[in-house]
Amino acid sequence: MIISTRPIISRYDKAFKEDHSRNYHLTIRIAPDGFSYVVFSLEKNRYLCLETFQAKQFDQAERTTAALDEVAILRQWITYPFQSVLAIVDNTFNTLIPNPLYDEKEKGVYLAFNQPFQDNSRIQVDELKTAEAQNIYYLSNSLIEKIKDIWPNARIAHLQSVFVESLLISKRNLTVETQAFIHVRDRNYDLVVLKNDKLVYINNFKYNTPEDFIYFLLFAFDQLQLNPETITVTLSGNIDKGDKPYDMLYLYVRNIGFAERNNTFDYSYMLEGLPVHQYHILYNALQCEL
């Protein structure tokens, strides 16, 4: 099966050595429209490279696994043994349950209440220690097997798990007022609201138009009794100034900003100039205990 996966962004530090993979950590995001990954030097505490591969929208798990095979052919070193690997899966077949309400035996019931059944899939659970919640989601058997085949030591986590945990960790002891965070994916976005270092709201909204985008946000704000004139909204993911959803946000929300670099880590000079907020998930996943 030919998927025609191709790199659209490719940045490598001169210090990056393919045969030093055992000294590196690999974080890879696996999404319906392609892949992106960063390589982190544990010795230097520095991100050395970033690459994004684009493919046509995957409508089947088999296409995703075939595209991973193509990337492995184009970048053979990515299959080398790494000291650690985190594979972040980007889908919307998930639900979060607070720890006091969670029963391991009922995870299938929780998921069925919010998500349609997925054939040839299994139920995965991420423990969100900082959020004190469990993220339950479907993941196709073939994708799990492919990830483990390429990277036997890989940990698998849902994108929303990384988003929530990284926010709570980075904002620990800093968030006093209520703040909102939006991570834009492909035709959907995650909305997280934090107050006093605690997760008070999370949801994912699918949208087709800029009007959909702002409608769901303002509806959530209304339900939470949040004022668009005063609340700070931080954006990450697939959104930039000049995009229609951004322009719509600018009309209705006064305080908008983009996610900044996590200063816990160093970054190669080769990553300068890339929009930091677009790679917020990749840059921040390493600090999450998932």
The answer to whether the pTM exceeds 0.85 is yes
Express each pLDDT in 16-49 by its tens digit: 999 999 999 999 999 988 899 999 999 999 999 9
Q: What band does 195 get if pLDDT is binned at 50, 70 and 90?
A: very high
In a domain, 242, yes or no: yes
Is the model's pLDDT at 120 over the cut of 70?
yes
Question: What percent of the chain lies above the pLDDT cut of 90?
Answer: 86
Q: Are residues 18 and 159 in the same domain?
A: yes
Express each pLDDT in 53-111 by its tens digit: 987 655 566 778 888 999 999 999 999 999 999 999 999 999 999 999 999 999 999 99
Q: Tell me which residue range forms the domain holding 79.
A: 6-92+133-166+262-287
Q: Are residues 246 and 276 in the same domain?
A: no
In a domain, 121, yes or no: no
Q: What CATH number is given to the structural domain containing 181?
A: 3.30.420.260
Is the model's pLDDT at 4 over the cut of 60?
yes
Q: Please write down the long-range contacts of 198-202, taking CB distance under 8 Å and 24 or more positions apart.
A: 199/131, 199/133, 199/164, 199/168, 200/224, 202/96, 202/160, 202/164
In a domain, 43, yes or no: yes
Is the model's pLDDT at 129 over the cut of 50?
yes
| Number of domains into which the chain is organized | 2
Q: Are residues 248 and 266 in the same domain?
A: no
**What does the pLDDT read at residue 54?**
86
In a domain, 97, yes or no: no
What lies within 8 Å, CB to CB, of 135 at 6+ separation is 94, 95, 96, 125, 126, 128, 158, 160, 161, 164
**What does the pLDDT read at residue 2?**
46
Q: Are residues 158 and 219 in the same domain?
A: no
In a domain, 203, yes or no: yes
In a domain, 58, yes or no: yes
Q: Are residues 44 and 154 in the same domain?
A: yes
Q: Are residues 31 and 160 in the same domain?
A: yes
Mean pLDDT (the chain) is: 94
Q: Are residues 279 and 154 in the same domain?
A: yes
Q: Are residues 52 and 178 in the same domain?
A: no
In a domain, 72, yes or no: yes
Q: What is the mean pLDDT of residues 160-169?
A: 97
**What does the pLDDT read at residue 280?**
97
- Phi (first) and psi of residue 175, to 5 degrees: -85, 110
